[in-house]
Amino acid sequence: MTFDLGPALLFCPADRPDRYAKAAERADAVILDLEDAVAPEDKAAAREALVAHRLDPASTIVRVNAVDSGHLAADLAAVARTEYRLLMLAKSESAEQVALLAGFEVIALCETAVGIVNVASIAAAAGVVAVMWGGEDLIASLGGTSSRHDDGRYRAVASHARSSMLLAAGAAGRAAIDSVYVDIPDLSGLALEVLDARGSGFTATACIHPSQVDVIRDAYRPTPEEVSLATAMLDAAEGERGVFRFDGKMVDEPVLRHARATLIRAGLAVRTPLVE
């Protein structure tokens, strides 16, 4: 199955089926969450809601509980009763854990110290199509208090984890999904972070509130000026051999790849296929 997931991935509690359709209408893809968004006593009802209320499987992800949670087997049994085939494994910590989800495509969510240390082997594991990191769970696994400083900047260890995950995803040829921005009213801060994510090579950003969706879409979408510059640069390259000068700057193959990526994002508008 080809999963048509755009840049804005919206979490939706799986025990709130009244929100399923609204989330699907607003976001590029929905993450139906059986893990943190659902209290332990409500997980059974959440699984039944997952089965009873269907969304488009091409743009739906199901986040299942961690391997050591005691809930994963029941989660997988419920998902097997649906057409959903893209799972997000919470607190992924090894390739062996990913293998327990055989038969599904997997977004490996690395959000513990062990997961980040092992992220390269996790990203390269069979069945993994994308990798995501989680800042707050990571810091909690280290005994810290917050992934960010008071001014909103990531702490050094969180920045290191984010970069490690992105590099591992790129090395394995997987899509990279950036973590959620938990300060919901701070849309300007979100926009700056998503611009950095796009510029760094992330494929998508997860979010926790519908108000964040359009901000993420806009930040991932190239501006008309970027499209115009990329087009002109690629046109100029057709008559050149090797490195050349364009608009006063040196242009070589890596720069041309950036230009091609800009046009691809512009051509696909909001949606970007995650799995070919």
**What local confidence, expressed as pLDDT, does residue 260 receive?**
80
Q: What average pLDDT does this structure show over 35-50?
A: 97
The rounded distance, in Å, linking the Cα atoms of 3 and 276 is 8
Q: Residue 165's CB: how many other CB atoms inside 10 A?
A: 31
| Residue whose structure tokens are 């508008």 | 269
Phi, psi of 175 (to 5 degrees): -70, 150
Instruction: Give residues with Cβ within 8 angstroms of 72, minimum separation 6.
Output: 64, 65, 66, 100
With a cut of 90, say whether residue 160 has pLDDT above it: yes
**What local confidence, expressed as pLDDT, does residue 228 receive?**
79
The rounded distance, in Å, linking the Cα atoms of 34 and 152 is 28
pTM of the model: 0.87
**pLDDT band at residue 83, thresholds of 50, 70 and 90?**
very high
Answer whether 220's CB lies under 8 Å from 178's CB: no
- CATH class of the domain at 8-220: alpha beta
Q: What average pLDDT does this structure show over 43-63?
A: 97
**pLDDT band at residue 253, thresholds of 50, 70 and 90?**
confident
The rounded distance, in Å, linking the Cα atoms of 228 and 46 is 47
Give the residue extent of every domain in the chain: 8-220, 224-267
| Residue whose structure tokens are 């919901």 | 184
